[in-house]
Amino acid sequence: MNRLRIATKIVPKSILTNNLTCHNSYMGQTLSYKGLRFYSGAHEEETFEKLTSRYVKFFEGVDDRFELQRGLNNCFAYDLVPAPEVIEASLRAARRVNDFSTAVRVFEGVKNKVENDNQYKQYLEELRPVREELGVLTKEELGF
């Protein structure tokens, strides 16, 4: 505690309070500076529909494996389960860049994000036509 008192006595009070006043004797003016903080809280919140359309558009334009995996990492980083349209677009992108393993792992990500097995089964059921069209199997169907 004594060190703090010594430090506050040594350091000018204007620095500790984030206010700085300077007097310019040549100009005869006093300049005052108050510390301001700029936060990035002025952003609009993105709706689920906008997020879904943004990621569907992103996956439709994927040209290589790196972009696909980066997009999947970003998509699954949100605190929500991606919409089936996003999963479908990512599966099509995975097959387009010929990355079967990532296509299988998309379903692993969905399984980890959903709250229970019933929701996972609903995703599988809704995406069954796409899975059959693209020939994508789940980890369980592969025997792992």
Q: Is residue 11 part of a domain?
A: yes
Residue carrying structure tokens 């990355």: 99
Full residue range of the structural domain in which residue 80 is found:
48-134
Do 14 and 72 belong together in one domain? Answer: no
**How many other β-carbons are positioned within 10 Å of the β-carbon of residue 138?**
17
Number of compact structural domains in the chain: 2
Q: In this prediction, what percent of the chain has a pLDDT beyond 70? A: 70
Q: Is residue 42 part of a domain?
A: no
pLDDT, tens only, 31-86: 565 666 666 666 678 899 999 999 999 999 999 999 999 999 999 999 999 999 99
Closest Cα to residue 88, out of 142, 124, 64, 41?
A: 124
Please check whether residues 29 and 69 belong to one and the same domain. no
pTM here is 0.70
Between these two residues, 109 and 28, which has the higher pLDDT value? 109
Is the residue at 40 inside a domain?
Answer: no
Does residue 39 form part of some domain? no
In this predicted structure, what is the pLDDT of residue 105? 96
CA separation for the pair 17, 83 (Å, rounded): 49
* In a domain? residue 24: yes
- CB-neighbour burial class of residue 47 (10 A; exposed 0-12, middle 13-18, buried 19+): exposed
pLDDT class for 90, splitting at 50, 70, 90?
very high
pLDDT of res. 86: 97
- The span from the CA of 130 to the CA of 124, in Å, is 10
